[in-house]
Amino acid sequence: MIQEKRHDAYQQREKLPEPTVCIKCRAMFQAGRWTWEAAPLGAYTTICPACQRVEDDFPAAHIEIHGNFFKERREEMHNLIRNTEKQEKGEHPLERIMTFAAEEEHFLVTTTGIQSAKR
């Protein structure tokens, strides 16, 4: 189940100047999107929405996985979650796992974006 939370603070209110680089994760905003390309010298600086969520401890989504299926496929699901993050984060710098609690009876995952949670 995905519980979607929206908060205006993380929506871009005004257009960022380009290029802008996040001082925490080095993601760069250019041509209207965030990428992992290296920022040129003299780029503007900011804290990207994903890092801001981590700093505020305010996830975009919570995912809880439990039940019989979970118990049978625990390891597989663990790998699936990690691989999905790797893929999503590679293509979309704002899609990250914030916390991943692998408990005996369930996994509890929080993310900085909605897309990775849905996947």
Residue 51 touching Zn ion (CB under 5 A): yes
Rounded least distance, CB 70 to Zn ion, Å: 31
Least Å from the CB of residue 10 to Zn ion:
12
Q: How far apart are CA 51 and CA 59, in angstroms?
A: 10
Ramachandran bin of 67, using left for φ above 0, alpha for ψ from -120 to 50, beta for the remaining angles: left
Q: Is 43 in the site for Zn ion (CB under 5 A)?
A: no
3-state secondary structure of 61: strand
User: Rule CB under 5 A: which of 55-84 touch Zn ion?
Assistant: none
Task: Look at strands 20-22 and 44-46 and give their pairing.
Answer: parallel
Instruction: Please identify, among the stretches 13-21, 41-49, 67-75, 94-102, the one whose residues bind Zn ion according to the rule CB under 5 A.
Output: 41-49
- Residue type, position 35, single letter: T
Residues at the interface with Zn ion (CB under 5 A): 22, 24-25, 27, 48, 51
